[in-house]
């Protein structure tokens, strides 16, 4: 029995799709391991590394930051806010600093009228 695993992000960076023996996912409150036959779960992603052990291949490690993870009928979906190099950059400089820099690049005013 195998898991069908899909890791996606809004930008498409750090995506992965395939069959795996097991997966480890960083959650807000700790790390969750997933093996075939696991009970369904929906959880919030934290910041860290998704570790995927594909069938007959070397471990795949993807950085993620924020989002959610769904497990249902041996299908694991990791929908990350940031993944790959984006998540590594956010972890290196800190998400708060990254958001402050992004806000500084936005034009003045929000475009909405009260």
Check pLDDT > 60 for residue 113: no
Please state the pTM of the whole predicted model.
0.74
Model pLDDT for residues 83-94, shown as the tens digit of each residue? 776 666 665 555
> Which of 16-20, 76-80, 81-85 bottoms out in mean pLDDT, i.e. has the lowest?
81-85
d(CA 65, CA 73): 25
**Strand ranges (DSSP E) for 55-95?**
60-72, 75-83
Q: What is the pLDDT of residues 38-73, one digit of tens each?
A: 999 999 999 899 999 999 999 999 988 889 999 999
| d(C-alpha 114, C-alpha 77), whole Å | 39
């Amino acid at each position: 029995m195998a898991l069908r695993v899909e890791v996606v992000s809004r930008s498409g960076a750090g995506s992965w799709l395939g069959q795996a023996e097991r997966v480890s996912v960083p959650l807000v409150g700790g790390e969750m391991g997933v093996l075939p036959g696991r009970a369904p779960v929906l959880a919030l992603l934290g910041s860290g590394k998704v570790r995927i052990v594909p069938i007959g291949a070397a471990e795949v490690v993807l950085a993620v930051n924020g989002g959610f993870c769904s497990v249902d009928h041996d299908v694991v979906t990791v929908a990350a806010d940031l993944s790959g190099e984006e998540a590594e950059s956010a972890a290196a400089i800190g998400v708060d600093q990254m958001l402050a820099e992004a806000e500084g690049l936005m034009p003045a005013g929000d475009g909405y009228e009260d």
